[in-house]
Amino acid sequence: MQNNHLSESDDSERDRRRGYLSRMDTEVRSIEFWRAVISECIATFFYTFFVCFSTLWTKEEDRDDCSVLYISLAAGLCMMMLLQCFGHVSGGHFNPAVTLPMVCTGKITILRGICYIISQCGGAIAGAAALYGITPADRRGQLGMNGLAEGIGRAQGFGLELMLTFITVFTLFATVAPERKMAGSPALAIGLSVTAAHLVGVRMTGCAINPARCLGPAFIMNKWNLQWLYWAAAMAGGLISGLLYEYIFDPYKKPCNNAKSRTNIKMDQLDTSSAICNGSRRRKEYTRVGTGCSTNDDLIPETWCRSLVRETSSATQLTRATSIVSGKMNMPTSEIR
C-alpha cells in the first residue's frame, strides 16, 4: 500500500515537471511571450527615464518638501501610466523585485522570469543612456543615481529599502489577486504605493525600490558603489513580501491535499483549456496585471489541453459504455433481445 502511494507520488511529480517544461516550451514559441518581454523593456526604459530625469533639476543636498513631492509624483504617476499601457500585455512588473517573487510563487515560469529581468535591466540602461544624451552636461550630475544621505549607514539604508520594496510589492500582490472583487484600479493603487515609498525614502536613500532603475544610471556613469545594497535589499523585500502574501495572507488560497481537490482543479483547467483551444477567450481575460499570463491556470500548453480534452472525452465514453453494459446485464434476457 505504501509502495503504491510512493509510486503515485513519483508519477505525479514527474507529470508536474513534464507539464512545467511543456508550459515553458509552449510560451517561448508564442508571440504573446515575446510581446510581453519587449513591453517590459520599453516600460522600464520610460520609468527609468522619467524618474531619473525628475531628480536632475533638484540639488541632492538641498531637497525641500516641494522637490521631494515633485520626484515622488513623477515616479508614481509614471508607474500608473505604464501599468495602464503595458499591464495587460506583460503583467506590468517593470521591476526585478516584482518578477522574482512571481517566479517563486509559481505565477510565472522561470524562463519568463529570467527574460523579464534581462529585459528590464536592458530597458533601464537604455533609458539612462537616452537621458544622458539629451541632458546638458552641466545638468547631468550623477544622472539620478541612488545614494545614501549623509549620516545614513549601510544597515539603515538596507533596512529602509527592504521595507519600502516590501510594501510596494505587497500592494501589487494584494491588488491583482484574481479572486478579489474590487471596482478600483490596480494601476492607481500600485502607483500610489510607489508615490508613498518615494515620499518616505527620497531624502534618505534616493528610494530605488527597483534594482533595474538603480542599475541604469550606475552603468552609464560607471559608478558601482552600493549597487549590491540596493539589489540585495529590493530583491529580499520583494521576495519576502510575495511569499508572505501568497502563503499566509492570501484569504482566497485553498489547499489541495486530496485527490478529489486535484480532480476538481483538473476539471477547472479543462474548462479554461477548451476555451484556449477553441480560441474563444476574450482578450481582456488573456492577461492579468501581475502574472502576465491568463487566469490562475496560466498559459496551459495547447498540446496538454488537447490531450486533456481527449482523455476526458474517452473517460466519458467509457463510463457511458460501462453503464449501458451494466444496465443490460441487470435487465431480463427478453428485454436485451
> Which tens digits make up the pLDDT trace of 96-149?
999 999 999 989 999 999 999 999 999 999 999 999 999 988 888 889 899 998
In tens, the pLDDT along 26-41 reads 888 889 999 999 999 9
In tens, the pLDDT along 282-324 reads 334 445 566 666 544 444 334 334 444 444 455 555 555 555 4
SS3 322: helix
Distance CA 225, CA 213 (A): 15
> Which element (helix H / strand E) includes 313?
helix 302-330
DSSP string, 22-58: HHHHHHHTSHHHHHHHHHHHHHHHHHHHHHHHHHHTS
- Chain centroid to CA 1: 41
Per-residue pLDDT, 27: 82
Q: Where are the domains of the chain?
A: 20-249, 263-336
Between CA 324 and CA 332, with CA 326 as vertex, the angle to 5 degrees is 95
Least confident of 112-116, 248-252, 256-260, 301-305: 301-305
- The three cell numbers of residue 324 are 449501458
Q: Which residues are CB-contacts of 274 (< 8 A; sequence separation ≥ 6)? A: 305, 309
- The three cell numbers of residue 285 are 481575460
Among residues of the chain, what percentage have pLDDT more than 70?
67
Tell me which residue of 8, 11, 9, 26 sits closest to 304, measured CA to CA: 26
Q: 242 with 248: CB under 8 angstroms?
A: no
Distance CA 140, CA 265 (A): 55
Which residue intervals of 105-151 are DSSP H helices? 110-134, 137-140
Between CA 105 and CA 110, with CA 107 as vertex, the angle to 5 degrees is 85
SS3 325: helix
Q: 123 with 212: CB under 8 angstroms?
A: yes
Q: 52 with 131: CB under 8 angstroms?
A: yes
Q: 301 with 272: CB under 8 angstroms?
A: no
For the domain covering 20-249, report its CATH number: 1.20.1080.10
